[in-house]
Amino acid sequence: MNPEEAKKKISDLSEKLHYHNQLYYMEDRIEISDFEFDQMMNDLIELEKEFPDLMLPDSPTQRVGGTISKEFPTVRHSSPMLSLGNTYSEQDLIDFDGRVSRGLGTDNYQYFCELKFDGVALSLTYRDGILVRGVTRGDGVQGDDITPNVKTIRSIPLRIHSDYTGEFEVRGEAFIPKEEFVNLNKRKVQAGEDTYANARNTASGTLKMQDSAEVARRKLDCYLYSLTLTDRSIETHEDSIHWMEKAGFNVSDTYKKCSDIKEVLAYIHEWEEKRQQLPVETDGIVIKVNSLDQQNELGFTAKSPRWAIAYKYKSESAETALLDVTYQVGRTGAITPVAELDPVFLAGTTVKRASLHNANEIVRLDLHHKDVVFVEKGGEIIPKVTGVKLEARHANADPVIYPAECPECGTALVRTEGEAVHYCPNTMGCAPQIKGRVEHFISRKALDIDSLGEQTISLLFDKGLLHSPADLFDLTYEQIMELEGFKDLSTKNVLKGIEAGKNIPFSRVLFGLGIRFVGATVAEKLATHFGNIDNLAKAGFEELLSVPEIGEKIAASVNDYFSQDLNIKEIDRLKKAGLQLELEESDQPSSDVLNGKTFVISGVFTEFSRDELKQTIKSHGGKVVSSISSKLDYLVAGENMGPAKLEKATKLDINIISEQEFKELLAEAADV
């Protein structure tokens, strides 16, 4: 067969296989036998082997896998994959509805409800109708590129049924269907192997397997529920769902548009039991404001959208025997009691341990040794003890007594007035605290030293080489090479990762210090306000409170941290090591000409991207907010901006300026 004939044959076979794949996986019907389908697939595989240059980018042969991925590159998401706020209370949903109404200044809005599937979040990018990238959620900001594995999921189209050109993104949930999970465990039993504990974790592990052929054999599925597409015809979430359906995406048909919160509650009640009949595990309902303009108007908090919320169904409960209570020491010294349980199957997993939270909870439960306890999963994820079966208690059972000393180092525990948690104050001599602080320091949101891990940190600690994060920068090639399992390349990778940590921005280093209550967002606000670590260290309580969104608890914790000589010495060592402990010039405000002014950005701009426009405002001292209120100074209006925002700004007599007028405003302010 010559190349021209092969090209035509490859094209014909690909079209037929795509067609029959669509029929089977999306429309649940067949026109040919499995034998005929497999024969066509084998013919295509052989042709592609003979003529590899003629393989199409969306070839059906990618469904069977075969690609071996030794590592998965990290990819930054085009926009954060945020988690949703969630609740188990219908009253909270009514309160959420009230916030939506106040935020929009109207009762003229609708909701779109979808079942919340218990799977693994994925981001899929298409270019000119062809799937080009599949990425895990990761930490929400960046994830792992697992494209070869994603292409084995037969319900994910390799090519869409649309003439849309350009790039767009869809997001959804990959999962192992209930029936396939049962079959998978049957095969494990037949092979004499341990079974998988739950479908979600199995799906997550499957998507990170190196051999995509093995991923294909697991028969994962995927429901899509989110679309990012520049198309004027799409004005609502409902529009985007219907667009995805027409394009050939696998969208669960369990959704419903609701005119008000009463219809939302009715939808929740309808699916409470009915969801058990679905082929995938579910744990709740996602409720979204339907209008995309209104979503944009409501905006986001630091962690979640204000226009969406998840309602969680009440957890399943099981009873089992309490075998023991152990105590874990965290990096901050917090002591967490843990119930060691007789293994019990609950909500899809085998539960062996459950949190008891703190000493107050042990007292509240009136917990005794060898009790029979009731266990639930919070959010159907984290097991917790919720009660005791008193009638099953042994007559001479001893009560569980919370320890007075640290279970790791023997130091007397302390408890701050008003707090429920006990702490070990031996911060510099308690092994779990030391190792925990270093693990936090190298974590992804801090210095992101991925060549180090928990096991290596333990080895370094046991060798006496690691007692604080600053010790990392004193490590030598010879010291690391002596560790068990290390060779030349792995040693150099560790040193390379540590060296790269010196270029991490100040805000992330500050987060990595592990100051109590200073998360990533708070660290960024403190870094921006004070500019460097010395200014922050000198700041008094009242000065800290003047920073937006910094409360008394955070201010007191920051003051306490910098009052300790050991912490000051640690920071001095980090300075000498060359870490970034001040904002770079590019991060510093260019001027304060927009100081005190607030802006909302809406629409598409010609000279700025939205992110560039936000950065320009911030760099001149201004503040960008997500919603329009009477306190707003300016609405910067681009093309195709939401009519609701425009209407509200006009009603409140807000200054509405164009991109050009914004530039003029900046120039005028600079001349004053």
Q: Tell me the DSSP string of 453-474.
A: -HHHHHHHHHTT--SSGGGGGG
Q: Are 277 and 260 in contact (CB under 8 A)?
A: no
The residues pairing with 349 across neighbouring beta strands, listed in sequence order, are 346
Q: Tell me the DSSP string of 117-145.
A: E-SEEEEEEEETTEEEEEEE-TTSSEEEB
Please count the CA atoms within 13 angstroms of the CA of 139 that sit on its side-chain side.
11
Spatial separation of the C-alpha atoms in residues 403 and 327, rounded to whole Å: 9
Kindly give, in sequence order, each residue whose CB lies less than 8 Å from that of residue 355, ignoring residues fewer than 6 positions away: 336, 337, 338, 339, 382, 383, 384, 385
Q: Are 113 and 281 in contact (CB under 8 A)?
A: no
Q: CA torsion sign, 48 to 53 to 54 to 58?
A: positive
Name the nearest CA neighbour of 617 among 636, 603, 602.
636
Cα 532 from chain centre: 29
Question: Could you give the dihedral angle defined by the CA atoms of residues 14, 18, 20 and 23, in that order, rounded to the nearest 10 degrees?
Answer: -170
Name the nearest CA neighbour of 400 among 339, 489, 467.
339
- The backbone torsions φ and ψ at residue 361, rounded to the nearest 5 degrees and listed phi first, read -70, -40
Q: Are 176 and 221 in contact (CB under 8 A)?
A: yes
Q: Which residues are the active-site residues?
A: 116
Kindly give, in sequence order, each residue whose CB lies less than 8 Å from that of residue 369, ignoring residues fewer than 6 positions away: 322, 324, 325, 397, 398, 399, 400
Q: Are 387 and 362 in contact (CB under 8 A)?
A: no
Name the nearest CA neighbour of 339 among 360, 318, 362.
362
Q: Are 337 and 362 in contact (CB under 8 A)?
A: yes
Structure tokens, 534:
């010395």
Residue for token pair 């920071």: 571
Structure tokens, 548:
């937006």
Spatial separation of the C-alpha atoms in residues 246 and 240, rounded to whole Å: 10
Cα 113 from chain centre: 21
